[in-house]
Amino acid sequence: MQYYIQSSWINSDSPKGDFRKNLLSWFDQQQRDLPWRKNPSLYKTVVSEFMLQQTRVSTVLPYFANWLHLFPDFHALASASEKSVLKAWEGLGYYTRARNLHKLAQVAENWKEPPACIEEWKKLPGVGPYISAAVTSISLNQPNAVCDGNVVRVLSRLFSVSEVFRDGATAQKKILPVAQKLLCKDRPGDFNQAMMELGATVCHRRSPHCTLCPVISLCKSGSQGDFSQYPKIQRKEKKKRQIKRYWVEQDDSILLHVSDAGRMRGIYELPSSLPDWPNQHSSKPELMINKKRTIGNVDYLENIYLIRTKISTSQSLTVGYEWVKWSDLNNFTISGPHRKWIREIRELAFPQIREDQRNKRQE
């Protein structure tokens, strides 16, 4: 990375000073009114940074408010059950984040003082280079630069970085030294937030508002008008996967499955296989609807099949399966897409399913 750092103004005090001054002045005037910036605390910063991983600010806002209501501090979160933590996280996805945040709170319970060293933060559950730098700079005023996707985009354009990065993680790792050189050590937390704010609100991926950029006079790609070329990151080919799901509704309940291991532990979904029950008591699967969702780099097509069964809800089921009453549905932690699909299917198909069941009973 030194090849373009040395050839740029990044090693000159005057341009660096102008960059920091312009950026921070803009941030002081234009920063978004976000709840974790009001009466800031270490706890608020940690929670917000965990939630904001791979998630938009607009999505996080209601979750953050509810989370602070349920778990106002590290002690309240550490004392909560994993079930209640996952329920509060429902819909945000990537549930490992919630489990790690829960574990971190249990570690924080024993702190006399929070660690200021970035390397100590990296040892904590779910904390990597980005979160450790964000937390220590924003809440502990430590001179550690952050480098997320927004920062990569800003700095790649600022210096017209020609390197083609293998993936986003590689880009962040290689651009980080540049961010560290630019960092304002007097206001590291504000500077980091300003860099991310610039990427999120001005230096957009496709249509940046260059005329509104506070550092446009120093931006190489902005002055050349070739910003769309940066950053240069190889696109990963999307993987595709199909999954069968089953809609089994009986009386006042629906059949759901919950995993006891892996990243979806404790999260209920429509089952991808059926319990061990006599085949003659169930109809052949009838395709109801196809649904799509993306997790990471995988596009899933989930085909949902209707199963009509005479199995009683009082009959014992294979471990992991559970009849959930409609009236109790909100008390269970269900993956966001599946809760949405269940609601949609119930509104569209539920009356017809009910009618079919009544007719079968009359026969």
φ/ψ bin of 236: left (φ > 0), alpha (ψ from -120 to 50), beta (otherwise) = beta
* CA dist., res. 98 & res. 67, Å (int): 11
The contacts found for 345-354 with CB under 8 angstroms, 24 or more apart, are 345/247, 345/288, 345/289, 345/304, 349/247, 349/288, 349/306, 350/249, 353/249, 353/306
Nearest to 28 by CA among 166, 194, 140: 194
Q: Widest CA span of the chain, in angstroms? A: 87
Q: Identify residue 53 by its one-letter amino acid code.
A: Q
Q: Is 249 a catalytic residue?
A: no
Q: Identify residue 173 by its one-letter amino acid code.
A: K
* Residue 157 main-chain phi, psi, to 5 deg: -75, -40
- How many Å separate Cα 60 from the centre of its chain? 9
* Residue 150 main-chain phi, psi, to 5 deg: -65, -45
Which position among 49, 197, 269, 302 bears the catalytic label? Answer: 49
CB 118 within 8 A of CB 142: yes
Paired strand residues for 128:
none
CB 47 within 8 A of CB 58: no
* CA dist., res. 66 & res. 71, Å (int): 8
Active-site residue list: 49
